[in-house]
Structure 1
Amino acid sequence: MHVTHLSLADFRSYARAEVPLDPGVTAFIGPNGQGKTNLVEAVGYLATLGSHRVSSDAPLVRMGAERAIVRAAVREGERQQLVELELNPGKANRARINRSSQVRPRDVLGIVRTVLFAPEDLSLVKGDPGERRRFLDELVTARSPRMAGVRGDYDRVLKQRNSLLKSAAMARRHGGGRTVDLSTLDVWDQHLARVGAELLAQRLDLIGVLGPLVDKAYEALAPGGGPVELEYKGPAVGGSREELYERLLAELGEARKQEVERGVTLVGPHRDELLLKLGELPAKGYASHGESWSYALALRLASYELLKSEGEGPEPVLALDDVFAELDVKRRERLAELVAPGEQVLVTAAVPEDVPGVLAGARYAVARGEVTRL
């Protein structure tokens, strides 16, 4: 699969942009702050319904505009599709496939798949557990787009349960004897455990197949520097979905008193951790800067290999946003050799010299909101 044309309207710094794209390598080159990252961010948004840089849609809409549009023509074999997302901050976003059929935004998931590596990915190694949970869940959804609905259901149930717990905690502290009816909490426990078990099962399955690929990618980037290992940490791990459900339900029961006191849900996939190990030690806190870069790159390269090999969807577009300038010469060369065979690789760089020679292909200059083919 590859994107043949990218159209933007009022997205980030672009009032309008029309960018034809070829298979193989395309490099966007220009000084920082000119809009290179905005282009790969737009492609990533079509694939994930989110940005790798911000948590809400408002910053994605050009200042002074009411909405933004991201549209891409996509080719997979002989099949061509046009996918479009309209971003409406504060309102519901809209989506279209092939112009005429209006669908839910999540229905476009799977048409475009991307694996994007950016400097922000250092937080996968150095950041808090939420960054690693997000990494897992986005990859789970890329493998199986229906999981977007499961994730949405989990978030809704969690929000409702937290609201009930918060009310109970507030009443205990400031209610002057007032109490909150917690009779529905058993029902919310069952909902949370059922949807959480599905999400947890998908995460555990993912880690089982992803772990060896991460170790292989790390060895390719930093020979002799491993091994690396992924370990899932949570109170309910292992077994069938039904066993995971029963375990989560039991954990919720055991934690109820503490949850009512604190007013928040303390058990579930939203609290679990993905431990990244380098040798016998956790990478966070022990890995050097270079090792952390290699580990983050290995996570993304392994994700790319997994999605490419499973055959249940199109080969992902691989995007490398301002990556090569951060790497030493050896890591730069190894990474370039690993990604060069990709069906479509998008690279951003401040200067042409930052793009290794093996990544020959189309070049665009990006400056002052203009994208010009060289």
Structure 2
Amino acid sequence: MSQVSLRDIRSYPRLELALEPGLVLVTGPNGAGKTNLLEAVHVATQGISFRTRQDAQIVRRGAEEGLARVAGRRGDVGVETEVRLSVRDSKRIRLNGATVASAEELRSRAHTLVFTPDRLAVVKGGPAARRAYFDRVLVRALPARADLPTAYGAALGQRNAALRRVAAGLSDVTTVDPWTAQVAALAGQLVDARARVLSLLSPVFEERASELGLEQATLGYDIEPPSREALDERLSRDLERGTTGLGPHLDEIRIAAGDRDLRTFGSQGEQRIAVLALLLAEAELLAGQGGVAPLLLLDDALSELDADRRRLLSARLGLAGQTLVTATGAEALPLAPAQLLAVTPGEVRPA
């Protein structure tokens, strides 16, 4: 990515910004607009914000529309993306001048990975946060199986609706059967795909976590998908509760260090290292598959890391393609970045 153009996005009425390849450090006081800049780049490359799903919240207050555009190269190929947001209408997305039907299509053709302090929920939050995270990795890393999380969720929703209709006396119990069969079939495929993703991520995740001082880090997902027979056996309980009580929508994915589950027995610093190691592992996986490193956006990633770990992370990020990192001051980054930017409200300039 070499050029960012913004108009009426969050705190930026208008911005034209040239970026150097490599590691770019974005500095400024709290509230100056550092996160807004990363969010705008994410919108331009992924079609969505990492902070909200309400497009109107991204448009600058008092404006009717906002524009986020980036240009650069993906390997040897020039790429320009443009996302127009409106407080009233649907977003409009273009890639190299051609209209893109959806944000999902844009994300399938341009990879951007993000770290924010909120992403610690992947480790410290409940099982749903981990399932959602690894299913997003699945979509990016296994494009041939990218529809599985959505397809399983749709079949599960239909089975749950059928269960509630039967419990209300509006349908016969046999109407649940087709959805039970579909849920069982898709559950097996989804479990297999998740296991494949974790097997691809695990070796690099363990290496990167160890580099950052988190020893014996592991990912665990040893799950048997529910069979049709198992779902049938608990039909009466599912009818009583109006929901399917067995399947990958309830699975746990374990992130551990040795015999310690980091959700319960990890420090805040260890949880941060685990999330950063996951991001680095996914970036290397995607780069190995597609030959092009994804764009990395790291917001406040360096806080709560000591000087040695900041140096190690900085060195690794310097090898990862193009990365934008935010911090309140340049001293947060032990190594010299390829470019240093200073943010004041509504403005970004070379420091």
- Greater CA deviation, 36-45 or 56-65? 56-65
Distance 2:258 2:337 in 1: 36
C-alpha deviation, 1:92, in angstroms:
4.8
**Secondary structure of residue in 2 paired with 1:319:** strand
1:228 paired residue among 212, 217, 228? 217
TM-score, normalization by structure 2: 0.89
Matches within 5 A, 1:104-183: 104-145=102-143, 147-169=145-167, 171=168, 178-183=169-174
Supply the distance in 1 between the matched residues of 2:67 and 2:227 (Cα, whole angstroms): 41
Supply the distance in 2 between the matched residues of 1:62 and 1:249 (Cα, whole angstroms). Answer: 51
Distance 2:38 2:175 in 1: 45
Fraction of identical pairs, as percent? 34
Segment of structure 1 superposing worse, 204-213 or 247-256 = 247-256
Q: 1:17 to 1:221 in 2, by over 3 A?
A: same
Amino acid at match of 2:201: L
Q: 1:114 to 1:55 in 2, by over 3 A?
A: same
Runs of 4+ in 1 over 6 A off after TM superposition: none
Matched, 1:207 2:185: no
Query: For each residue in 1:281-327, what CA deviation from the matched residue of structure 2 results, as whole angstroms up to 9, or x when unmatched?
Result: 211111122222222222222222222223x3521112221111321
In 1, Cα distance between equivalents of 2:87 and 2:152: 23
Residues 317 and 345, structure 1, Cα contact 8 Å, conserved in 2: yes
Q: What does 1:183-262 align with in structure 2 at a 5 Å threshold? A: 183-222=174-213, 225-232=214-221, 234-236=223-225, 247-262=226-241
Deviation at 1:208, TM superposition (A): 0.8
- Measure, in 2, the Cα distance between the counterparts of 1:72 and 1:202: 33
Alignment of 1:18-97 (within 5 A): 18-46=16-44, 48-54=46-52, 56-87=54-85, 92-97=90-95
State the alpha-carbon separation in 2 of the partners of residues 19 and 212 from structure 1. 37
What secondary structure is seen at the aligned counterpart in 2 of 1:53?
Answer: coil
Is residue 113–residue 314 contact of structure 1 (8 Å, CA) maintained in 2?
no
Tell me which residue corresponds to 2:13. 15
- The answer to whether the 8 Å contact 2:283/2:320 transfers is no
The separation in 1 between residues aligned to 2:320 and 2:266, in whole angstroms, is 29
Offset, 1:78: 2.7
Q: Aligned equivalents of 2:159 and 2:86: distance in 1?
A: 28
Aligned residues: 351
How far apart, in 1, do the equivalents of 2:54 and 2:150 lie?
A: 16
Deviation at 1:24, TM superposition (A): 0.9
Question: In structure 1, what is the Cα distance between the partners aligned to 2:83 and 2:180?
Answer: 35
Match of 1:360 in 2: 337
Moved more, 65-74 or 108-117: 65-74
Instruction: Encode CA deviations 1:14-71: one digit per residue, 9 max, x unaligned.
Output: 3333322221121211111222112222333455554433355453333344554332
Say which SS state the counterpart of residue 140 (structure 2) adopts. helix
Pick closer, same or farther for the CA change 1:283–1:92 going to 2, 3 Å: same
Distance 1:181-1:344 versus aligned 2 partners, 3 A rule: same
Candidates 326, 334, 338, aligned match of 1:348: 326
The structure-2 alpha-carbon separation of the partners of 1:339 and 1:184, relative to structure 1 and needing over 3 Å to count, comes to: same
Unaligned runs of 5+ in 1: 172-177, 237-246
Quote the Cα distance in structure 1 between the aligned partners of 2:318 and 2:11. Answer: 29
Residue pair 2:284, 2:320 contacting (<8 A) in 1 also: no
**What residue number does 1:239 align with?**
none
**CA separation of 1:273/1:332 partners in 2, compared to 1, >3 Å: closer, same or farther?**
same
Residue number in structure 1 paired with 2:262: 283
Q: Does 1:302 align with 2:302?
A: no
* SS in structure 1 at match of 2:39: helix
**How many angstroms apart in 2 are the aligned matches of 1:187 and 1:299?**
38
**Is the contact between residue 9 and residue 17 of structure 1 (CA under 8 Å) also seen in structure 2?**
yes
CA RMSD of aligned residues (A): 2.5
CA apart distance, 1:11:
2.9
Cα distance in 2 between the residues matched to 1:148 and 1:68: 30
**Contact kept? 1:61, 1:87, Cα under 8 Å:** yes
Are the equivalent residues in 1 in contact too, given 2:75–2:292 (CA < 8 A)?
A: no
The answer for unaligned runs of 5 or more in structure 2 is none
Residues 177-234 of structure 1: CA deviation (Å, up to 9, x unaligned): x443343322222333333333322211011121111111111010xx4211111154
Q: Which residue of 2 aligns with 1:373?
A: 350
- Check 1:292–1:113 CA distance in 2 against 1; reply closer, same or farther (3 A cut): same
Distance 2:154 2:83 in 1: 23
* Alpha-carbon separation, structure 1, partners of 2:4 and 2:83: 12
